[in-house]
Amino acid sequence: MSEADNSKSGAGAPWTRRKVLGAAAASTAAVALGAGLAAPAIAQGKKLTYWGGLIFSDDANKLLTDTINEWGAKNGVQTEVVMINQNETTQKVSAAVASSSMPDALDVGLDLAILLARQGQFSTLDDLYKKIGDAQGGWYEGTDKATDTSAIAGGRVGIPFGVNGNLLLRRKDLLEPAGFKDPPKTWEELAAQAAAVNKPPVYGLGLALSNVGDGNTQMSVLQSYGGRIADDAGKKVTIKSDATKAYLSWVKDAWDKGLFPPGNTTWDGAGDNQAYLAGQAAFIANTGSVGIAAKKDDPDLFNGSAFSALPGGPKGVISPITPQLRVVTKSSPMQDEAKALLEYLSNPDFMNAYFNVAIYGPVLKAQEKLKAFDGSNTILVGLLDLAKNGTAPAWPDVYNAAYADLSGNFIIPKMVQRVVIDGWDFDKAMDEAQTQGQAIYDKY
Amino acid sequence: MADATFETAPARRAPGVTRLTIFAYLLVAPVLILIVALIGYPFVFAIWISFTDQVVGNAGKWIGLANFAYLSKNATFTASIWNTIVMVVVSDGLKLLIGLGLALLVNQALPGRGIFRSFLMLPWAMPGFVAFLTWRVLYQPIGGGINLILTATGLHSGVIDWLGQRSTAMPAVIVATVWRGFPFWFVSILAALQAVPKELYEAARVDGANGWQQFWTVTVPGIRQVVIVTVLLSSIWTANGFENVWLLTQGGPSDATIVFPVLAYFGMQTQRLGEAAAVSVYTLPVLIILVLIATSLMLRDEE
């Protein structure tokens, strides 16, 4: 169509600047109106949203969901429970923080709690923490110290509800016939026992050396040999040391003897679980989830297994606890309701039922007397021991953001991989870990 | 006055700007706004935060090139550059060979070729995580399908830790990546082959060209543009591929299979958004160069 045709039809008449601006304003108003209409819909549905940490136990997940909804029904509070896979909590919470769409309350691990407390994302809960502690015999010392965020957030931001950490799970049905009735007390003993039953396809040491959280168990082994990540100020990295060299000797020796199952340098988070459940590993370090799976799916394996504390090194036992917390977000318009819910969730009846189906140790001293910890469940016995005697996260190192960053970059398992996969000598591997570690610490 | 107004009014009108033109712009405006909001803004924002020390929950401050300087000194980052290049070049080379070979085969008048074509598309139709987790099971050192086949056929006895050794980890990831990605090449090249006029082949035969000469003088020029576009798209997808490496090796063992997206993911895991964005931004110049090369080749073909 020519311009002349346009003129004839009237469509080609020139638009004035005013008309164009008017059309643009109308478009903008339409977009703004669309956005504005959505807002009241969110505000109208005032309900308490809770993000629960999804764990291996379906029973535990259901119990938490049902309990929150029942509490809501009793108290006239509309509730919505969303169970978040714990492996994805960081990503989901990060996205929620960025988009200002955090729930009212949620379950978080200590790492994320500390990081976001530093950014002022959570409400302080000192009064509630004290009230619950006073009512139930006080908090275990390790939990109390590890979860104190006063220095970074002006108060406590989380109510601990359970601790986990690694226990040593062993195949007593293989070890006892080989003459090992008692669990190994040291890593050297562990390697000796593992070597005695190492008959592929059953391998002695089902420890992950890969770039996943399980691989960071090696940090505890290193520390039990006297190695340190950084100095007491938590500033200067001190990975390169004779103690680290002694630790690397232990790993390399076990590797050369073929005690580790093949593939353990690329295992995902379930690698050790699967190896143990498939009968390919005589020992693993695990939170207890494997025990629950074995109890349900392979009773023979469960009956042939036993739990104990992690072994120690020349400098003692390093068995860090990882407290899990419930937090209230500062952006929540339902602060009082969220705090009331957290108080309700700490009641002994619920926690007794929850401990029975979940894989957490207690956080309050009175919880030791709950039926769940009467000794009939060997996993919970191990977790109770961990709660009472476990070491603080990162100890003897300082647990700070740099330490968490170094852990998240798997510097120690990567150092081990340099030795066992790439064949680097200890000094070269330690040099690289030292340099990379210091670069991380220098950022903070 | 009135005459003067009539004389000046047409002079203000921009040539070619009519109500219809402006109306057309208004019609496409919503799409443009969406593109800017969904692509432009995140793109520019990612570049912006790569120059900051932003962490989750804190906007951070401008730190210039510090993230890039930190990364450039990191041995893992250096490894990820090399691994990404190897992954893209070798994967795409193999995808081209397999895709072209199968497309040439299926382009022939063979019985049951329709079923064969559909069958070849299966890897691409399968969700990525299912495909790579299946490969992970196949690669299992104990009880894995590949080792079982090797043992059963007598080709090798014993355990091969496909994903746990530096020498085999990257090839294993590449094989799985090629398996998942070759159907796109196959179907693209097949479509291009079917668009090559039959008369050209007849003319070449009349001129005495043999099969090989027909391939080089008729087939290759006929599918060249499609292959260039396929190379470009596949290179970008492979360079940005995350699930293949993450589900198979998490970048290990050691740094044998670490690639840019996995490295960026590690940055995200530690909440350091600025650093994670810097990893992604590092790939930008390479991708821009790829686009420019492909575009210039395509334009040259058109000329």
Report yes or no: A274 at the B interface, CB cutoff 8 Å: no
Nearest-Cα distance to chain A for B146, in Å, is 14
- Closest residue in B to A203 (Cα) is B142
User: Which residues partner with A338 through β-bridges?
Assistant: none
Contact A419, A426 (CB under 8 A): yes
ipTM: 0.75
Nearest-Cα distance to chain A for B294, in Å, is 35
Q: Phi and psi at residue A52, in whole multiples of 5°?
A: -90, 150
Residue-wise pLDDT for B236-246, tens only, equals 889 989 999 99
The one-letter amino acid code at B243 reads E
Residue-wise pLDDT for A124-159, tens only, equals 999 999 999 999 999 998 899 889 999 889 999 999
Interface contact flag, A409 B73, Cβ < 8 Å: no
Q: Which residue has the tokens 């478009």?
A: A27
Buried b (16+ CB within 10 A) or exposed e, A186-213: bbbebbebbbbbbeeebbbbbbbbbbbb
Over range B32-52, report the average pLDDT: 91
Write down the pTM of the prediction. Answer: 0.78
pLDDT higher than 90, residue A329: yes
The pLDDT value recorded for residue A67 is: 97
Interface contact flag, A115 B57, Cβ < 8 Å: yes
Residue-wise pLDDT for A8-65, tens only, equals 333 344 444 444 344 444 443 443 333 333 333 333 447 999 999 988 788 999 999 9
Contact A81, A52 (CB under 8 A): yes
Interface contact flag, A265 B272, Cβ < 8 Å: no
SS3 A423: coil
Cis omega (within 30 of 0) for bond into A201: yes
Q: Which of residues 23-52 of A touch B (CB under 8 A)?
A: 23, 27, 31
pLDDT higher than 90, residue B8: no
Residue-wise pLDDT for A407-444, tens only, equals 988 999 999 999 999 999 999 999 999 999 998 898 88
Work out the widest C-alpha separation in chain A, in whole angstroms: 104
Instruction: Count chain A–chain B contacts defined by CB atoms under 8 A.
Output: 131
Interface contact flag, B56 A11, Cβ < 8 Å: no
Three-state SS across B3-15?
HHHHHHHHHHCCC
Dihedral sign for Cα A215, A221, A227, A231, please.
positive
User: Which residues partner with A101 through β-bridges?
Assistant: none
Contact B26, A30 (CB under 8 A): no
Report yes or no: A277 at the B interface, CB cutoff 8 Å: no
Residue-wise pLDDT for A247-290, tens only, equals 999 999 999 999 999 999 999 888 899 999 999 999 999 888 78
Report yes or no: A90 at the B interface, CB cutoff 8 Å: yes
The pLDDT value recorded for residue B302 is: 64
